[in-house]
Amino acid sequence: MHGTQGQAVSIDAGRVMERIGRLSEIGKISETGVCRLALSPEDREAVDVVAEWMAEAGMSVRLDAFGNLIGRLEGEDPGAPAVMLGSHIDTQPYAGRFDGIVGVVGAIEVTQTLKDGGMKPSVPVEVVSFCDEEGCRFNKGLFGVRGMLGRLDDGELERTDKNGVTRREALIAFGGDPARFAEDELAPGKVRAFLELHIEQGPVLEAKDRAVGIVTGISGPLWWTVDLYGFAGHAGSVPMPMRKDALAGAAEIVVGLRALATEDPGAPTVGTVGSLRVFPDSRNIIPEHVQFTVDLRDIDLPRRDGLEARLRELIADAAMRHGLQAEIREDTNSEPRYCADWIMDAIREGAAEMGLDAPELMSGPFHDSLAMSYYCDYGMIFVRCKDGISHNPKEYASAEDIGLGTELLYRTALRLCTK
Ligand SMILES: [Zn+2]
């Protein structure tokens, strides 16, 4: 049970699963479904439960001004920069039991294991349950972590949910305090590393038949809104060579994007047109205007830039051949954020010690880690999830895989605390 050599398991996987089950009861909407929106009474109830677990694991606990729950286990050198572990416990409205939760419960298990083993880390360990990672209630995510890092935008407290409640009102009711934001910002140099355990929310590990994976980085999305303008006409009378059909042009672009994103089978590039609107949307009118979105992601920014340039050419070419006018508006352009080599090394060592073959993969979705990456070095461990399903009550990760992920989190954290 003690020590970190060989196959012996240090963490208590049963306790981890019990706690995940306990949280799934708060905001439960079906057998496996959960709705625990950020800053709701359910979210607060869950925070109180998690706070108790943190205290039980020997941490001092506080809720900061942004609604983040922070536990701290003192190290031998209390003045040293801390190692921070964590994730989030708020959920989407139609969610499963694991997204975010595994990372918070797993992080508490790490400190509980240290305490149970009578071990004191050489540097402080902090466990954070970040406020409102999902962003579905106020349409902007990563609130708590951005707040802590002084990266909130103007007007964020004035955003309203669909009932007209402002974030300011919800945050105050929750126990946060906008008047104390400045004092709760994390000063530079207070945290040396951030480590997050999370379910993959994709199908890669399952396809590779591996329980856990080592994240290499979070790919930044490029988001566009594209407008194609043609000319409407009677679908029965305008001869084909004379048409300016915006939808025909859009169709070529949709197919072309797919071809670009799949031409290098070894690359993790993904390209998606997820929304498309046709005007006037009538069966016997040639489409005059089509608006669609583009989501292009890659962990390799130069490769993504190259694909972006070719996609622009492809759009210009399709527009020219169909007699259309094309306009591209860039909505988001995030750069990929790479995990720190020294933290990935620590995860690799931990996995090797456990005899685990942990493949390396990038994260398409973003996480609290994305925001933390602008403050300190970070690393992430992924746990396999069934059929890659997430943001859905069908989301599932096995107890065995979660146990392995938590054990790897523990072994990695031990290395980060002492290096
Ligand atoms: Zn999450």
Residue 1 has pLDDT above 50, yes or no: no
Measure 99 CA to ligand 1 centroid, in angstroms.
5
pLDDT band at 8; cut points 50, 70, 90: confident
> Domains along the chain?
13-218+336-418 (3.40.630.10), 220-330 (3.30.70.360)
Residue 6 confidence (pLDDT): 47
What is the sign, positive or negative, of the torsion defined by CA atoms of 314, 301, 147, 60?
positive
User: In percent, how much of the chain has pLDDT > 70?
Assistant: 98
3-state SS assignment for residue 218: strand
Measure 47 CA to ligand 1 centroid, in angstroms.
16
Q: Which amino acid is at 414?
A: L
Measure 391 CA to ligand 1 centroid, in angstroms.
9
Residue 5 has pLDDT above 50, yes or no: no
Residue 39 has pLDDT above 70, yes or no: yes
Residue 7 confidence (pLDDT): 54
3-state SS assignment for residue 61: strand
Measure 202 CA to ligand 1 centroid, in angstroms.
12
Measure 366 CA to ligand 1 centroid, in angstroms.
8
The Cα–Cα gap between 128 and 114 comes to 17
Residue 34 has pLDDT above 60, yes or no: yes
Measure 251 CA to ligand 1 centroid, in angstroms.
33
Measure 88 CA to ligand 1 centroid, in angstroms.
6
- Cβ distance 310 to 321 under 8 Å? no
Measure 390 CA to ligand 1 centroid, in angstroms.
9
CA-to-CA separations, 364 to 13, 146, 196, 345, in angstroms, rounded:
28, 20, 15, 21
Residue 419 confidence (pLDDT): 55
Measure 42 CA to ligand 1 centroid, in angstroms.
17
The mean per-residue pLDDT over the stretch 382-397 comes to 96
pLDDT band at 9; cut points 50, 70, 90: confident
Measure 35 CA to ligand 1 centroid, in angstroms.
14
Cis? peptide before 280, omega within 30° of 0: yes
Measure 221 CA to ligand 1 centroid, in angstroms.
17
Residue 384 confidence (pLDDT): 98
pLDDT band at 4; cut points 50, 70, 90: very low
Measure 103 CA to ligand 1 centroid, in angstroms.
9
pTM: 0.88
**Cβ neighbours of residue 118 under 8 Å, at least 6 residues apart?**
none
Residue 367 confidence (pLDDT): 95
Measure 100 CA to ligand 1 centroid, in angstroms.
4
Residue 3 has pLDDT above 80, yes or no: no
Measure 312 CA to ligand 1 centroid, in angstroms.
32
Measure 153 CA to ligand 1 centroid, in angstroms.
21
